[in-house]
Structure 1
Amino acid sequence: MSPAPNPLDLLLEIGELFRDDMARAFDGTGLTVSRTHLLWVLAGTGPSTQQALASAMEVSARNITGLVDALEASGYVKRSPHPSDRRATIVSLTDVGEKTMKTMARDHAQLSQDLMDAVDPADRAGLTRGLDAIATRLRALIAADAAAGPAAAAGPAAAAGPDTVTGSDTVTEEDAS
């Protein structure tokens, strides 16, 4: 008889499965998790300044510059002058970017439905409440660790184990190239 699954282990496995699926889906597209995050922000907010994008993504202006440079080079976004602030630039989706985001939104909705179809309809509301409670608690634990300073630098993710990969919206060399 095998032991009951540990919820944290299941969440970590799900995170790894999503990461692997995204890597497979992005292969050959020039997209990364961070670049795609920027595209989702633009799709949701419309044309934005790089400063607004940095704020929305909670990253530095330098990170946004690298992300926009890469997305512009691959044809997903374009820069244009701000109509009233000559120091600012507006970033918007190109036709390719808009088409890509419509496809991603459709795929996102389909995957969400496919995953929920695996759960008994009577359990779906409870699952959603439980996942929301876990996400809320994890955000609070991370915020508390951040407030505690360098002594708590390992953070809650360290408790997940040495093989855990945590997500980040910090631009990597892969994102900038």
Structure 2
Amino acid sequence: MPGNPRAGTAQLMELLSVSLGVYYGDFTVAAATEGLTASQGKTLTVLRRGPSAMRALATTLSCDASNMTGIIDRLEKRGLVRREPSPTDRRVKNVVLTDEGERIIDAIRAKMHLTLDGLATLDEDDRATLAGLLERVFAAAPAAIPPTSR
């Protein structure tokens, strides 16, 4: 493998695949303990970055706009999000995370034991390196991964 950059890339793709599978499995189980589907939990996670228009949420989460409406309806019924008019376009409704929605995301992340245990094996330098590498690898998707504050 050392002389073959494609083999290295294939190995990294496999490691990313396994890592994301573990992360999302962990996330899905933790979200379920809060009575949420994985899609509802992911929606709250995206909204933690700030308010979003419904169409932008659907694009970010790669789902149909009608499906996004159902997800938001259920989250709003539980008091985890609210809809409000966009300050720049009154025809657009933004979805905003409530304090309760914020609390639920914190609770989900606190229950992601596989992920937390894995990250706990990293020291501060390792964490900074990992964050920098992930930012570089996914730089083409700036809306999906917010830069870390260092």
Distance 1:41 1:11, change over 3 A: closer
Give deviations 1:60-87, integer Å, cap 9, x for gaps.
2112111101111111101112233232
Distance 1:29 1:40, change over 3 A: same
Q: Could you tell me the percent identity over the aligned residues?
A: 34
1:85 corresponds to 2:89: yes
Query: How high is the TM-score relative to the length of structure 1?
Result: 0.50
Q: Which has the larger radius of gyration?
A: 1
Distance in 2, Cα, partners of 1:48 & 1:15: 24
Give unpaired runs (5+ residues) of structure 1.
1-6, 137-177
Divergent runs of 4+, >6 A: 10-17
Give runs of aligned pairs for residues 1-177 of structure 1, distance below 5 A: 21-27=26-32, 29-45=34-50, 47-105=51-109, 107=110, 111-116=114-119
- Report how many residues are paired: 129
Give deviations 1:24-44, integer Å, cap 9, x for gaps.
433463311111111111112
Instruction: Determine which structure has greater relative contact order: mean sequence separation of CA pairs < 8 Å that are 6+ residues apart, divided by chain length.
Output: 1
RMSD of equivalent CA atoms: 4.2
Distance in 2, Cα, partners of 1:67 & 1:42: 13
Distance 1:80 1:27, change over 3 A: same
